[in-house]
Amino acid sequence: MEFLNVLLLAFVLFSCAQKKDHQLIEVSKAEVTPTLDGVADEDCWHGAPWLPLDQRWLGDAYTAEDFSGRYKLTWDENALYLLVEITDDVLYDQHPDPLKFWWDEDCVEVFVDEDNSGGEHQFDHNAFAYHVALDGNVVDIGPNKEARLYNDHVNMKKKTHGQTTLWELKVKVFDDTYANGKDNKATILSEGKKVGFALAYCDNDASEHRENFIGSVFVPGEDKNRGWIDASIFGTLVLKE
């Protein structure tokens, strides 16, 4: 009986630890893979709905002239694809070294949890938090607790017209067996798969530190800057044909 009680307790704790799906977004598959050129002229983008990037995770209130953002999603067997439209009155890149204070510059941040399991990922690959800089460098923190480049995970092209920049991204999806320095294979995506996902933008107009951090997912409580640590705050993508 005592053994059964231990098993029951373990099951309850495991169940409670599982991520609860929220902000479910159905993502349609692209019949033709989009070309990464910062131009949204493919049918997959014409048919995909715009989604808001409007949750203030850090910083003071801002005006629409200072920042506004929205995005679209599609996928194929090889990757997720994002079209991100950002209106930002100042694009700021202050550190030549991409591994220094990367969060204090203007960048798009893409959060991906391959199996939608949630949980901590600060110093492991249970999930990824890709900071995509204006120059295309992609940074996350590795298991050794140091920043490293993951430029082979995310490809990006962007074009700026006036104060509006269109970012087009291809994001390969890796599971939690990923190991730095090894021959890792990206997950082959398929219909019905759930992927943990969030998007954010670091906005800095010319300050030492970023002035705002705007996300795609509502995060309850006072501490909203938790995506780089806890994948449980991510929304959930559901891949559809």
Q: What domains are defined for the chain? A: 35-240 (2.60.40.1190)
Q: Where is pLDDT greater, at 144 or 96?
A: 144
Query: What distance in Å separates the CA atoms of residue 62 and residue 211, rounded to the nearest whole number?
Result: 9
The tens digit of pLDDT for each residue in 12-67 reads 344 445 788 989 999 999 999 999 999 999 999 999 999 999 999 999 999 888 89
> What's 32's DSSP letter?
S
Residue 104, CA atoms < 13 Å, CB-side half-sphere: 11
What would the two tokens of residue 39 be? 């131009």
Q: What is the predicted pLDDT for the residue at 17?
A: 55
| Residues whose CB falls within 8 Å of the CB of residue 62, separated by 6 or more in sequence, listed in order | 56, 203, 211, 212, 214
Assess whether pLDDT exceeds 90 at residue 188. Answer: yes
Assess whether pLDDT exceeds 60 at residue 5. Answer: no
Strand-pairing partners, residue 131, are: 109, 139
Token pair 């298991």 in the structure block, residue: 143
| Residues whose CB falls within 8 Å of the CB of residue 60, separated by 6 or more in sequence, listed in order | 211, 212
Query: What distance in Å separates the CA atoms of residue 194 and residue 114, rounded to the nearest whole number?
Result: 8
The tens digit of pLDDT for each residue in 99-158 reads 999 898 999 999 999 999 999 999 999 999 999 999 999 999 999 999 999 999 999 999
